[in-house]
Amino acid sequence: MCDRPFAPVFIEVMRWELFGQITRKLAAVRDFEPERDAARYAEQLLALHPRLFTRLDGGPESVVARMAARTIAVDHLREVCQLPDVVAELQRSMANSTMGAGERLVRVAGLAYLVCENDLIRDDLPAGFGLVDDCIVLRGARLATAHVLGTDHFVEDLTMIHYLAVAIPDPLLPDIEAALALAAELEMRTRPLPNAIVELAIRELIERPPTDYPPPLLLPDHEAGVETQSPLLLSAGEIDVADAGLLVIEFEDGTRLQRNRDATLEYA
């Protein structure tokens, strides 16, 4: 089972519908065991993303590819098991007096994605594979508001989003980018708005969580021509090096991400 059970943070809004749905969804996360479930996750990865392994000797069918897929699977499942902690941190942060209404809206919208029935990837895929997009969006919400409570997680969030994205089907990468851009856009759109308007949008998400993505928001239309880019551009990747837990993944845009043998991530 996941190392840490869900310990909900009891702030005033916890009694509302969104947070009740989150609690119920996270209860299922406790059933995952990264080491036990890695084989099934790796099977999904190999089947859906054979291109990721094409540079390796023997290609996707090789032993090296299967070992690399299992390494990624364990890491991704550990991230899925961290969802309760990430959610708890986001909830806790919203009670911080230094956080404005706009930043709270970004984080609530990220939490709403977690319980959205029609999000970008089905949640019921085997071995937690369908929760990777949720992990990305929640980290994106934190990334878009990193300036509020400091940047302790900034590089960690960037590298982990990139690493998780190798599990996203290539056709969906633009949609994941759009989800990350939405978080940045919300933060920007709400800056000139009165807090009362933004708080109404927050309350609507909490009381009536959306079933579809992107969620409808009770905000005035933003200026035409204002376009917000994703804080992180995502593209398909291929494993360039796989050696006893060391992985180097090269993406189409030239970015190289290194997964070290101690499971830390850095840009190569």
Bridge partner residues of 265 (DSSP): 259
Assign 188 a pLDDT band (cuts: 50, 70, 90): confident
Residue 75 lies in a domain: yes
Residue 155 lies in a domain: yes
How many domains, in total, are found in the chain? 1
Token readout for 51 is 């291109």
- Model pTM score: 0.91
Domain of residue 144 covers: 12-214
Residues 91 and 194 sit within 8 Å (Cβ to Cβ): no
Residue 206 lies in a domain: yes
- How far apart are the C-alpha atoms of 127 and 120, rounded to whole Å? 17
Burial of 207: CB neighbours in 10 Å, binned 0-12, 13-18, 19+: exposed
Residue 259 lies in a domain: no
Residue 31 lies in a domain: yes
Hunting for tokens 């043998």 — which residue is that?
A: 261
Note the Cα 174 to chain centre separation in Å.
14
Specify the pairing of strand 256-259 against strand 237-243: unpaired
| Model confidence at 147: pLDDT above 90 | no
- How far apart are the C-alpha atoms of 38 and 235, rounded to whole Å? 24
Cis preceding linkage at 216, omega within 30: no
For the chain, the average pLDDT equals 89
Residue 72 lies in a domain: yes
Hunting for tokens 């204002």 — which residue is that?
A: 226
Residue 41 lies in a domain: yes
| Model confidence at 241: pLDDT above 80 | yes
Q: Render pLDDT for 81-135 as a digit per residue (tens, 0 to 9).
A: 999 999 998 888 888 778 889 999 999 999 999 999 899 999 999 999 999 999 9
Residue 246 lies in a domain: no
- How far apart are the C-alpha atoms of 158 and 140, rounded to whole Å? 8
Answer positive or negative: Cα dihedral of 6, 156, 205, 149.
Answer: positive
